Amino acid sequence: MAGQTEMLGNYEIKSNERGIFSVTLSNYAYTAPMAHGMTFVKSLTADVQTGKIYPLRDLFKPGSAYVRVLSENIRQQIRRRQIPTLGPFGSIKPDQDYYLADKALVVYFQLYEIVPYYVGFPMFPIPVSDLESVASEQGPLAIMATNS
């Protein structure tokens, strides 16, 4: 007989300022006799006036090397923070998960994607000021970087 599945959902508003809304949504599921449950986190960043949802690529200038810039920043953070990885870190995906919070772009990975389970969800905050050379002038990063 299969066990019952326990499922919990949650959300956390990461940013709701300057017309930009960014939220994470998490879903945890456990079915006995699994060793542990599994959690997935997804996020959404949108313009509250237009409803436009921003995939990662839309935060950056067309043709910019944002994947390389973000990947190198993450590689340095892995080294500096001594984060244990499952293998050498290569690169983010062009549509990597992210959210915006506190004038930072936070790139994150799912459980087991690059680190062992016990590490949890690896989150890599990158100040928007570090991304000015590749950020779209009209996108959420430019809006979040303003001092008004």
| 80 SS3 class | helix
Is the CB of residue 128 less than 8 Å from the CB of residue 17?
no
Tell me: pLDDT of 130 over 70.
yes
Helix (H, G, I), strand (E, B) or coil at 111: coil
Report how far residue 90's alpha carbon sits from residue 76's, in angstroms, rounded to the nearest whole number: 12
Ramachandran angles phi, psi of 12, nearest 5° = -140, 120
pLDDT band at 2 (very low <50, low <70, confident <90, very high): low
Residue whose token pair is 């500096």? 80
The arithmetic mean of pLDDT across residues 110-137, rounded, is 96
Q: Are 85 and 114 in contact (CB under 8 A)?
A: yes
Mapping DSSP to helix (H, G, I), strand (E, B) and coil, where does residue 106 land?
A: strand
Structural domains in the chain plus CATH codes: 5-145 (3.90.640.20)
Residue 100 has pLDDT above 60, yes or no: yes
In the numeric block, which tokens belong to residue 121? Answer: 């969800």
